[in-house]
Structure 1
Amino acid sequence: MVAHVEGSTAGPRYAVLFPGQGVQRPGMGEPWRGTESWELVDSVSRASGFDVAELLLTADQETLSRTDHAQISVFTASLLAWSEFRRQDPSAGVVALAGHSLGEYTALVAAGVLSVTDGARLVGERGRAMAEAARQRPGAMAAVMGGDLRQVTELVEEARRDGCELWVANHNSPQQTVIAGSRTAVEATAGRAAGAGLRYSVLPVTAACHSPYMEPAGAPLRRALDLTDFTAGTLPVVANVDARAHRGGEHWGDLCARQLVGPVRWADTLHVLHEERGATAFLDIGPGATLAALTRRVLPEVPSHRFRTPVPQSA
């Protein structure tokens, strides 16, 4: 089995991107089962308390749609891809990392700030805490397309003046912003968006991620973070909450805690990676191609690739 970077060219300065929850799909671990990196699955399973091999190989879409299952499976699949990328191309020039929401934990492991064991433990605790928070206070999310962040923010503020519980959750690109809040508020805002000439798509989730609806998950996650050793690491990671490049250190505990209830500044993150960290190409590592597509919308002049493998033949 030979892995490769789609459209790769000689000597790029890569910014590596790791996806978040939502890209999971049945069988997504199959391409990696015959690789040397597969041993990571046992380590993640022991540290997180999940049967990750089952999630990656045999779980159906309904099983993978659970928040805790989705997070640990995407985290592991992305780590497998990263491990193989580094093993097969150890001299590739990686200048910085970032991850979208959950993917930030993958980035911290890839940067050496977290061990695989600590990263898996944190992702397991985060997934369980977020799932419980969503059970206590169900919510919803929607993607608003066709308008910039200012327009969507005004839409959200107008809804909140009318008593709706609604917040900006992700600023993904100049033309896509995700909002989160109560299901009533999210559904009611569809009419406002249409009136402003914006496209609107309610997402198939029952949690209002990156909003105050996740506050009940804060205490258990904070306890897990306080028990974690954030080391110096080897590469900078651009954080979701402030779109700034950070080296390793204990301050990551606060950044991860803030990320739980704060918006993901993804479009700003991509600009920082390119303009401040000097990345000349982006590499989306993990399931799906969501981040490569977003990168092309934010920075169309910068090459954006995916790292993938072909599906191996059965044993």
Structure 2
Amino acid sequence: MNKRLAPALLFPGQGSQHPGMGRQLMEHHPEARAAIEESGDAIGTDLVRLLRDGSMEELTRTELAQPAILAVSVAAYRVYRGSLQGPPPCWLAGHSLGEFSALACAGALALGDAVRLVQARGRLMAEAARRQPGGMVAALGIAPERAEAICREVTESRRFGVVVPANYNSASQTVLSGQLPALEEAERLVREAGGSAARLAVGGAFHSPLMATAREAFGEELSAVRLAPPLLPVLSSVTGKRMPDTESGLAELLQRQLTAPVRWTAVMAKLAAAGASEAVEAGPGGVLKRLAAGTVLRVLAMEEDGEREELAHRIRRRRMLSFLEGCLAVAVGTRNEEGDALVYSREVEAPARELERLLREAESAPAVPDGDRLEQAERLLGRVLAGKRMPEGERLERVARLAAAHGLRPVATGAR
């Protein structure tokens, strides 16, 4: 992980669901099971059973898929911040439905309210889909501009119905949404343009004008919950910009997203411009990880084999490097009270140089700095502070505070 900037947290949307999702999180992390049980209690549904035993057919039902995905996403975030002791993310961003997960994790929505909202959202979207049947197809291997042109051509012909760009996922993947005859014609034109087309396992033409009735009704659902200012920065997939702090602004975006396209490429561009180089996909599967291929962002998906373990390793390494950096910063930044130049050179400068060497060695090695190295850094810091004539009590307190901030126990007050 970039030690200067914490990772971004990304939350997937509908289509990421799969049988058994969240099972390992529930089995190994009590906070994950608690989040999923709390989510199920909020809507009177046994989500633990659904996630453990539910079929793909059940999980594809919009009114079940949305609360299930949100529950697993919030569970993954709580594991990241809890068991794994991950740092607060630099940004949170959600793909469509994932925005509700992001806002719940950022403190803008209570978990129970978030689950009830997305259940209502799913129900309203399913009702809209029954009124106006449709679907979604991923256009692969063609530029977004070409996908837009195909949608215009099909829709303006007035022969097939409506089809629009629904998700700008990457430079070579744009998801189209619309009425089934229009989708079939769009698929033909995508292939004619040299691309390929893949139908998505969703229950309607989401993020299209066919969801207009759902959008209108969802406004009433939003008015019944409290939306607080996010405690962490959240990017909107509707605008590609930071979400507002006002309740009305948040509600407007969450309502608008039902018929607006997901501008995921704009979200990725914003993260890159902000200096983010690494991210964690908190939720089912690894859809967003795959969409990030070819960008500057390296994504670890918490549900993919071995990646949660790699994430835990990276978090530990980051925390230990941060402790070493903190030792050096305290050593350099503490006021000096030693007037003898020779003593200063021997008791301050020499251990400070050794402390810097320890940090540089640790930065160049892929392994987590071991306990001996951390103990050595702590003792070197103690020597520097003593050399600068800091009183012993203050010195021990300073070292203890620094260690505690990184989840460590100082050598001076007990073993690690």
Query: When the two structures are superposed, what TM-score results if normalisation uses the length of structure 2?
Result: 0.69
CA distance in structure 2 between the aligned counterparts of 1:135 and 1:32, rounded to whole angstroms: 34
CA distance in structure 2 between the aligned counterparts of 1:135 and 1:62, rounded to whole angstroms: 17
Contact 2:81 2:88 in 1 (8 A): no
Give the structure 1 partner of residue 206 of structure 2.
209
1:36 aligns with 2:30: yes
Q: Cα–Cα, structure 1 residues 220 and 12, in superposed 2: closer, same or farther, change >3 Å?
A: same
Q: What is the SS of the residue equivalent to 2:291?
A: helix
Contact 1:180 1:209 in 2 (8 A): yes
Contact 1:18 1:100 in 2 (8 A): yes
Deviation of 1:304 (Å): 2.0
CA distance in structure 1 between the aligned counterparts of 2:239 and 2:304, rounded to whole angstroms: 33
Moved more, 243-252 or 62-71: 243-252
AA aligned opposite 1:197:
G
The alignment's C-alpha RMSD in Å is 1.8
Q: What is the SS of the residue equivalent to 1:283?
A: strand
Q: Cα–Cα, structure 1 residues 309 and 291, in superposed 2: closer, same or farther, change >3 Å?
A: closer
1:105 aligns with 2:108: no
Q: Cα–Cα, structure 1 residues 308 and 9, in superposed 2: closer, same or farther, change >3 Å?
A: farther
Give the structure 2 partner of residue 55 of structure 1.
50
Q: Deviations over 1:137-163 (max 9, x none)?
A: 110111111111111111111111111
CA distance in structure 2 between the aligned counterparts of 1:282 and 1:116, rounded to whole angstroms: 23
CA distance in structure 2 between the aligned counterparts of 1:86 and 1:115, rounded to whole angstroms: 17
AA aligned opposite 1:36:
P
Alignment of 1:181-196 (within 5 A): 181-196=178-193
Q: What is the SS of the residue equivalent to 1:45?
A: helix
Moved more, 73-82 or 213-222: 213-222
CA distance in structure 2 between the aligned counterparts of 1:103 and 1:271, rounded to whole angstroms: 18
Give the structure 2 partner of residue 252 of structure 1.
250
Deviation of 1:177 (Å): 0.2
Give the structure 2 partner of residue 4 of structure 1.
none
Larger Rg: 2
Contact 1:236 1:248 in 2 (8 A): no
Alignment of 1:6-85 (within 5 A): 12-34=5-27, 35-37=29-31, 38-85=33-80
More strand by share: 1
Contact 1:79 1:106 in 2 (8 A): yes
Q: What is the SS of the residue equivalent to 1:232?
A: coil
Deviation of 1:12 (Å): 4.6
AA aligned opposite 1:292:
K
Deviation of 1:309 (Å): 7.7
Higher relative contact order (CA 8 A, sep 6+): 1
Q: 2:240 aligns with which of 233, 239, 243?
A: 243
Give the structure 2 partner of residue 293 of structure 1.
290
1:281 aligns with 2:281: no
CA distance in structure 2 between the aligned counterparts of 1:9 and 1:56, rounded to whole angstroms: 34
AA aligned opposite 2:11:
F
Stretches of structure 1 that go unaligned for 5 or more consecutive residues are: 1-7
Q: What is the SS of the residue equivalent to 1:95?
A: coil
Deviation of 1:231 (Å): 0.8
CA distance in structure 2 between the aligned counterparts of 1:310 and 1:302, rounded to whole angstroms: 19
Contact 2:15 2:202 in 1 (8 A): no
Give the structure 1 partner of residue 138 of structure 2.
143
Q: Deviations over 1:37-74 (max 9, x none)?
A: 11222321232233212211111111111111111111
Contact 2:136 2:178 in 1 (8 A): yes
CA distance in structure 1 between the aligned counterparts of 2:232 and 2:25, rounded to whole angstroms: 25
Give the structure 2 partner of residue 5 of structure 1.
none
Give the structure 2 partner of residue 264 of structure 1.
262
Alignment of 1:81-96 (within 5 A): 81-96=76-91
AA aligned opposite 1:77:
V
Deviation of 1:293 (Å): 0.9
Deviation of 1:11 (Å): 5.5
How many residue pairs get aligned? The number is 301
Q: Deviations over 1:260-299 (max 9, x none)?
A: 0110000111111221x332212111111110111123x1
Moved more, 37-46 or 74-83: 37-46
Q: What is the SS of the residue equivalent to 1:245?
A: coil
CA distance in structure 2 between the aligned counterparts of 1:309 and 1:153, rounded to whole angstroms: 33
Following superposition, which runs of at least 4 residues in structure 1 exceed 6 angstroms of deviation? none
CA distance in structure 2 between the aligned counterparts of 1:187 and 1:294, rounded to whole angstroms: 24
Contact 1:11 1:93 in 2 (8 A): no
Deviation of 1:93 (Å): 4.5
Deviation of 1:107 (Å): 0.4
Contact 2:2 2:278 in 1 (8 A): no
Contact 2:62 2:122 in 1 (8 A): yes
More helix by share: 2
Q: What is the SS of the residue equivalent to 1:106?
A: helix
Q: Cα–Cα, structure 1 residues 308 and 182, in superposed 2: closer, same or farther, change >3 Å?
A: closer
Contact 1:11 1:92 in 2 (8 A): no
Q: Cα–Cα, structure 1 residues 228 and 285, in superposed 2: closer, same or farther, change >3 Å?
A: same
